[in-house]
C-alpha cells in the first residue's frame, strides 16, 4: 500500500505513541550506547509501557507513559532513581568536567550586587561575595557608607539552597519586606524586618505564590497578592494580627465578571501614597490588562477604572495625580499616553508616539520620562519631559542591553545596568539633574572582553521573514566549519531575547566556540505583531525561524551539524523538543531544560492552564489539530536517528511540570534509532526559579556544558 506524505506523517505520529508500528529494535535496545570522546554506556533503563488511549474529537492518541505523570508513585520514583544513576554513569566519563568546574567557578565566583533601592538616604541591595553560595541583603548609609548585612542567607539552611530577595521598603527605610525561597521553587515565605533594630517582626506570611507586596502608607500593614488555582486575591495584613484575620481587598470578581486563575492580580501603593493601584493581567502572557485605582485620600472611595476592557497590553506610572500608560492600544510598537481615572481611550493624550522601533520599557525618575526602545534588538534610551519633549539620549558601548533607569518620580538619583554577551553587567547611578553617571558596582570577572566580539546578522526564515541573530566569539575566529557552536532561543510569551551576559556562554567562547542567539518570532523584539506571528496555530514559525538560523550558520561555515549544540529551557525547552523531533539532522547535541513537551496535556499541570492564551488547548478541536502536528511528545518516530539529548528538570519545578521531561525521556530512549545517549538529569533541589546555591548552580552548569561540549566532539 502506498501512502501519501500526509498519511505517512499521520502514521508516524501514532507510531511514536504506540511503539508497535515498527518491529525494528532500536540501537539503544540492541546494545552499547556511544557518547563522544570514548564514552560508552549500557542500554538505558526500560520504562514500562502502559497504553492509555485518549479520544480527541474522533482522533485516538495513545500515551504509553501516562503512569510517569504521577511523580509521587513508588514506580515513578524508582524509575527516576534508575535514570539518575544511568546519567551518572555517563557523567563519570566526561573528561572535561573538572576543567569546566574550575573555569566556571572562576567566572561565577566573583562579587555580585543587585541594583540598589534608595530609601531615606540609604541604599538597599543584595550582595554575594565571591566565596559565598547565596546573596545576602545589605544596607549602605549614604553613597560612601559601609555595607551592613541585614539578612544573612548563609544561616538559613545547611545546604545553602535557600535564597532571599527584597520585595518592598518603607519611605524612610525603616521597614523592609523580604522573601525567603527554598531551592528553585516559585513559592516564597514573606518576612518583615525593622532595619535599625535588625529584628524581624513576629508577622510571617506563609509559603505561597505571591505576585506582589506593598507596604501600606501608614506602615501599619501590607497589601499582598496571593495566587491559587481558584484565583488571585489581594489581601491586607495588619501587623500584630493573625494571617487568618487578613482583610480581603479585591478578587473573585469585578463588575459581575468572574476572575479565576487566568486573571493574575497585583496591587501596589503609588510612590506618593495617594493611590492603591490594582493591575489585572488576563492570561500568560496577558491578552489584555485592566488597571483600577482607589484614591486613598478619600476614605471609603470606590475603585475607578484607569484602563478597563481594552484589548491591549498596558502598564501605568503615577506622578502626582497624573497617570502615564505604556500601551500597544492602536499602536503595535507601543506608545506612551497620559490619562486620568475614568477616562476613555479616545481621550488619552499621546505623550510619546509609536515609532518604527518598539518601546520596551519606561520609567519616571527625577521628574523625567525615560523610554527604552529596541532598535533591531539593541537598547536605545531617550529622555523626555513629562510633556513629551525630547531632552537627551544616553549612549552605550557597543551591542548590548541597558536596563531602564530605575527609581521614583521624586528621586534625583536613578540606577541602570549595562551588559552584553561579552561584558558582565555593571550598575550605574544616574543623576537626573546633571546627567552625570557614577559606577555603583562593576564585577571583576576574569574575562577579557577586548578579545571577543559580537556582531549581528539577518537571515530569512522559511516564509521569507527577515530575522535578526547575534553571533559572538573570539576575534579572528575562523569560519571554516571546524568550531563548535552553541545556539539558544526562546520565541514566545512576548519576551525579547537580548544581548546579556551569561557565564556559560562566556565559557563556551573561551574554549574557541561560537555562540549564537536568533531573535525568533514570538518575542517582543519587533512589537506585538512579532509576538502574534508565533502564537496558537502559528507556533511553527518559531521552529522554522530556529532551523533557518541553524542552516544559515552551517551554510556560512560557522560550524557543522555534528559540532552544533543547542540549549533551551521552559518555552525554550519546547523549542528544543521541536528541534529534536523535526530536524534531528541539524544538531549534534541538545540540552532540553524544564521543558514543555506534551502539548496535548500540558494544561492539566501546574501553571499550564494559564498558558492556553499563548498555545491554545487540546480541549478545543481547532487547537488540537495544530498542537498534534508539532507537540514533541506526539511526534517521536521510532527508528529515527536522534542526536545526543539531555533532559534536565527538577522536583522543585512548580511551574512546568517535570512529567514532560519524564515521559519524553522514556519515549526517546525506547524510540531512537541511533546509538547516541539519551539522558535525564533529574535534580532533587532545582526548579524553574533561581535560588539554588552557587555551588549547586556551577555543578548543574558543568553538567550541561560537559554534555554539550563532549557530544559535539568530532571523532
User: How sure is the predictor about 24, in pLDDT bands with cuts at 50, 70 and 90?
Assistant: very low
Looking at residue 12, its pLDDT comes to 34
Range with lowest mean pLDDT among 219-233, 362-376, 576-590, 614-628: 219-233
Average pLDDT, the chain: 92
pLDDT in tens, 433-451: 999 999 999 999 999 999 9
Report the percentage of the chain scoring pLDDT > 90: 85
Looking at residue 253, its pLDDT comes to 87
Beta bridge partners of 359: 373
Distance CA 416, CA 63 (A): 49
Please state the rounded mean pLDDT for residues 41-45: 97
Q: Which of 611, 516, 621 is nearest to 570 (CA)?
A: 611
Given a contact cutoff of 8 angstroms between Cβ atoms, the answer to whether 626 and 536 are in contact is yes
Please state the rounded mean pLDDT for residues 287-312: 94
Distance of CA 188 to the CA centre of its chain: 18
Given a contact cutoff of 8 angstroms between Cβ atoms, the answer to whether 366 and 356 are in contact is no
Please state the rounded mean pLDDT for residues 421-444: 96
Please state the rounded mean pLDDT for residues 453-462: 98
Given a contact cutoff of 8 angstroms between Cβ atoms, the answer to whether 394 and 400 are in contact is no
Looking at residue 611, its pLDDT comes to 92
Please tell me which residue in 409, 688, 689, 693 is annotated as part of the active site: 688
Looking at residue 691, its pLDDT comes to 67
Please tell me which residue in 570, 618, 631, 651 is annotated as part of the active site: 570
Q: Is 663 helix (H, G, I), strand (E, B) or coil?
A: helix
* Beta strands, E only, 13-154: 33-34, 40-41, 52-56, 59-63, 112-113, 117-119, 122-128, 136-141, 147-151
Q: Which of 161, 100, 222 is nearest to 503 (CA)?
A: 100
pLDDT in tens, 148-175: 999 999 999 888 889 999 999 999 999 9
**pLDDT over threshold 60, residue 381:** yes
pLDDT in tens, 523-561: 999 999 999 999 999 999 999 999 999 999 999 999 999
Looking at residue 4, its pLDDT comes to 35
Looking at residue 160, its pLDDT comes to 87
Looking at residue 199, its pLDDT comes to 95
Omega cis (within 30) before 326: no
**pLDDT over threshold 60, residue 277:** yes
Q: Is 638 helix (H, G, I), strand (E, B) or coil?
A: coil
Looking at residue 690, its pLDDT comes to 63
CA end-to-end distance (rounded Å), the chain: 41
Looking at residue 664, its pLDDT comes to 98
In this structure, the strands spanning 304-307 and 314-319 are unpaired
If one compares 20 and 569, the residue with the highest pLDDT of the two is 569
Rg (CA), the chain: 26
User: How sure is the predictor about 31, in pLDDT bands with cuts at 50, 70 and 90?
Assistant: confident
Which residue has 512529567 as its cell numbers?
Answer: 659
Looking at residue 18, its pLDDT comes to 34
Looking at residue 159, its pLDDT comes to 85
pLDDT in tens, 626-674: 999 999 999 999 999 999 999 999 887 778 899 999 999 999 999 999 9
Compute φ and ψ for 324, nearest 5 degrees. -110, 130
Q: Is 361 a catalytic residue?
A: no
Distance CA 687, CA 696 (A): 12
Q: Is 308 helix (H, G, I), strand (E, B) or coil?
A: coil
**pLDDT over threshold 50, residue 87:** yes
Looking at residue 686, its pLDDT comes to 62
H helix or E strand, kind and range, residue 659: helix 659-671
**pLDDT over threshold 70, residue 7:** no
Q: Which of 646, 546, 653 is nearest to 608 (CA)?
A: 653
**pLDDT over threshold 70, residue 109:** yes
User: How sure is the predictor about 689, in pLDDT bands with cuts at 50, 70 and 90?
Assistant: low
Q: Is 313 a catalytic residue?
A: no
Distance CA 333, CA 349 (A): 17
What helix, strand, coil percent values describe the chain, rounded to 5? Answer: 25, 35, 40
Distance CA 175, CA 214 (A): 11
Beta bridge partners of 460: 466
Distance CA 204, CA 190 (A): 6
**pLDDT over threshold 90, residue 687:** no
Maximum average pLDDT range among 96-105, 246-255, 607-616 = 96-105
Given a contact cutoff of 8 angstroms between Cβ atoms, the answer to whether 660 and 608 are in contact is no
Q: Is 578 helix (H, G, I), strand (E, B) or coil?
A: helix
* Ordered structural domains, the chain, with CATH: 5-104+484-496+520-545+560-710 (3.40.50.1820)
Give the burial class of 84: count Cβ atoms within 10 A of its Cβ; 0-12 exposed, 13-18 middle, 19 or more buried. middle
Dig out the grid coordinates for 66 from the structure.
501516562
Q: Is 487 helix (H, G, I), strand (E, B) or coil?
A: strand
Which residue has 505520529 as its cell numbers?
Answer: 13
> Residue 251: CA atoms inside 13 Å, Cβ hemisphere, count?
24
Distance CA 511, CA 484 (A): 9
Amino acid at each position: 500500500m502506498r501512502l501519501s506524505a500526509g498519511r505517512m506523517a499521520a502514521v508516524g505520529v501514532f507510531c511514536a505513541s504506540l511503539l508497535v508500528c515498527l518491529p525494528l529494535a532500536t540501537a539503544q535496545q540492541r546494545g552499547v550506547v556511544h557518547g563522544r570522546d570514548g564514552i560508552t554506556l549500557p542500554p538505558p533503563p526500560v520504562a514500562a509501557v502502559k497504553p492509555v488511549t485518549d479520544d480527541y474529537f474522533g482522533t485516538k492518541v495513545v500515551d504509553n507513559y501516562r503512569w510517569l505523570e504521577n511523580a509521587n508513585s513508588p514506580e515513578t520514583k524508582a524509575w527516576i532513581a534508575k535514570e539518575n544513576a544511568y546519567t551518572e554513569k555517563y557523567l563519570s566519563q566526561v573528561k572535561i568536567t573538572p576543567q569546566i568546574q574550575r573555569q566556571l567557578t572562576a567566572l561565577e565566583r566573583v562579587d555580585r550586587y543587585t541594583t540598589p533601592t534608595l530609601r531615606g538616604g540609604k541604599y538597599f541591595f543584595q550582595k554575594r561575595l565571591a566565596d559565598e553560595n547565596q546573596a545576602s541583603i545589605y544596607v549602605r548609609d549614604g553613597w560612601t557608607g559601609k555595607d551592613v548585612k541585614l539578612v544573612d542567607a548563609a544561616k538559613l539552611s545547611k545546604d545553602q539552597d535557600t535564597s532571599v530577595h527584597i520585595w518592598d521598603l518603607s519611605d524612610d527605610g525603616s521597614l523592609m519586606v523580604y522573601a525567603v525561597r527554598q531551592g528553585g521553587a516559585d513559592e516564597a515565605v514573606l518576612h518583615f524586618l525593622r532595619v535599625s533594630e535588625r529584628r524581624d517582626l513576629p508577622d510571617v506570611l506563609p509559603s505561597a505564590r505571591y505576585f506582589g507586596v506593598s507596604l501600606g502608607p501608614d506602615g501599619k500593614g501590607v497589601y499582598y497578592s496571593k495566587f491559587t488555582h481558584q484565583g488571585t486575591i489581594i489581601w491586607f495584613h495588619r501587623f500584630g494580627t493573625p494571617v487568618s484575620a487578613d482583610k480581603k481587598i479585591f478578587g473573585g470578581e469585578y463588575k459581575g465578571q468572574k476572575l479565576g486563575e487566568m486573571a493574575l492580580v497585583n496591587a501596589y501603593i503609588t510612590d506618593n501614597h495617594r493611590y492603591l493601584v490594582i493591575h489585572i493581567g488576563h492570561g500568560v502572557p496577558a491578552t489584555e490588562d485592566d488597571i483600577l485605582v482607589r484614591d486613598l485620600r478619600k476614605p471609603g472611595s470606590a475603585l475607578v477604572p484607569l484602563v478597563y476592557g481594552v484589548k491591549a497590553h498596558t502598564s501605568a506610572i503615577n506622578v502626582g495625580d497624573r497617570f502615564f500608560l505604556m500601551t500597544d492600544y492602536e499602536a503595535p510598537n507601543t506608545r506612551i499616553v497620559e490619562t486620568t481615572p475614568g477616562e476613555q481611550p479616545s481621550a488619552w493624550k499621546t505623550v510619546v508616539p509609536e515609532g518604527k522601533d518598539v518601546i520596551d520599557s519606561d520609567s519616571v525618575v527625577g521628574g523625567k520620562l525615560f523610554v527604552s526602545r529596541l532598535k533591531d534588538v539593541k537598547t536605545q534610551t531617550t529622555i523626555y519631559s513629562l510633556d513629551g519633549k525630547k531632552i537627551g539620549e544616553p549612549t552605550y558601548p557597543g551591542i548590548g542591553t541597558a536596563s531602564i533607569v530605575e527609581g521614583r518620580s521624586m528621586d534625583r538619583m536613578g540606577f541602570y545596568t549595562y551588559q552584553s554577551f561579552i561584558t558582565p553587567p555593571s550598575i550605574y547611578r544616574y543623576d537626573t539633574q546633571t546627567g552625570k553617571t557614577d559606577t555603583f558596582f562593576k564585577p571583576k570577572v576574569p574575562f577579557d572582553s577586548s578579545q571577543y566580539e559580537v556582531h549581528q546578522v539577518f537571515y530569512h526564515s522559511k516564509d521569507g521573514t527577515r530575522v535578526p541573530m547575534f553571533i559572538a566569539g573570539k576575534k579572528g575566529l575562523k569560519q571554516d566549519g571546524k568550531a563548535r557552536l552553541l545556539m539558544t532561543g526562546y520565541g514566545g510569551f512576548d519576551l525579547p531575547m537580548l544581548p546579556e551576559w551569561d557565564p556559560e556562554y562566556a565559557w563556551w567562547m573561551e574554549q574557541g566556540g561560537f555562540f549564537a542567539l536568533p531573535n525568533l518570532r514570538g518575542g517582543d523584539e519587533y512589537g506585538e505583531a512579532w509576538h502574534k506571528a508565533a502564537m496558537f496555530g502559528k507556533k511553527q514559525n518559531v521552529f522554522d525561524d530556529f532551523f533557518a538560523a541553524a542552516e544559515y550558520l552551517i551554510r556560512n561555515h560557522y560550524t557543522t551539524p555534528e559540532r552544533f549544540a543547542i540549549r533551551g529551557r521552559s518555552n525554550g525547552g519546547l523549542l528544543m523538543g521541536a528541534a529534536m523531533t523535526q530536524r534531528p539532522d541539524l544538531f549534534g547535541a541538545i540540552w532540553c531544560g524544564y521543558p514543555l513537551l506534551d502539548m496535548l496535556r500540558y494544561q492539566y499541570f501546574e501553571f499550564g492552564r494559564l498558558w492556553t492564551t499563548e498555545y491554545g488547548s487540546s480541549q478545543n478541536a481547532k487547537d488540537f489539530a495544530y498542537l498534534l502536528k508539532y507537540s514533541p511528545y506526539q511526534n517521536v518516530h521510532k527508528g529515527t536517528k536522534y542526536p545526543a539529548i539531555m533532559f534536565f528538570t527538577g522536583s522543585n519545578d512548580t511551574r512546568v511540570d517535570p512529567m514532560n521531561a519524564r515521559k519524553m525521556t522514556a519515549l526517546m530512549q525506547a524510540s531512537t534509532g541511533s546509538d547516541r545517549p539519551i539522558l535525564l538529569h533529574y535534580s532533587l533541589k532545582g526548579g524553574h526559579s533561581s535560588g539554588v546555591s552557587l555551588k549547586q548552580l556551577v555543578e548543574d552548569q558543568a553538567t550541561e556544558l560537559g554534555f554539550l561540549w563532549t557530544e559535539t566532539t568530532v571523532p
